Structure formats: structure tokens, C-alpha cells
Amino acid sequence: MKTGVGAVLFDLDGTLADTAPDLARALNRVRAEEGLPPLPSEVARPHTSSGARGLLKAGFDVTPESEGYRALRE
């Protein structure tokens, strides 16, 4: 019995689309809200594949155990 394909999923984050510039802009928007200067996109790019955890570490030197991490993540 043949069955049809129910769904096709794509991982766009760095696989089919370069989202690093968008993620760097989002990080810099939060840095601006916190009164910090922007990070160059070349500094943020290596951390974009690590998700919010990597970006917050690069942008604010915080980890999930750090005070204030949750507020920055939201």
C-alpha cells in the first residue's frame, strides 16, 4: 500500500537561509535596550548556531545559571 507524504520540514537556520544577520540584529536590539553598544555581526555570527543560549553568552556574558538570564531571554 502506498502512503502519501504527510509533511516536509526544512531547517532554515543556517541550512537553507543565512539567518545570522537577523539574529545579530535581534541581539543588538536587546543590547541597545540595555544601554550597550552593538556587537559587530562577525562577533555574533559564530554564536548564532547555539541559539539564544549562545547569543546571550556572546552578547551579555551570561549563562542559564546567571542572574538576569531569564529576563534577557524573554
pLDDT value for 33: 95
- The residues annotated with a catalytic role in the active site are 11, 13
**Per the domain annotation, does 10 fall within a domain?**
no
pLDDT single digits (tens) 52-73: 899 999 999 999 999 989 998 8
Query: If DSSP codes are grouped into helix, strand and coil, which group holds residue 37?
Result: coil
Name the domain count of the chain: 1
Residue 59 lies in a domain: yes
Task: Classify residue 38: in a domain, yes or no.
Answer: yes
Burial zone of 41 (CB within 10 Å; 0-12 exposed, 13-18 middle, 19+ buried): middle
Residue pLDDT, tens place only, 21-39 = 999 999 999 999 999 999 9
- 3 within domain boundaries: no
- Tell me the residue range of the domain where 67 lies: 20-73
In a domain, 6, yes or no: no
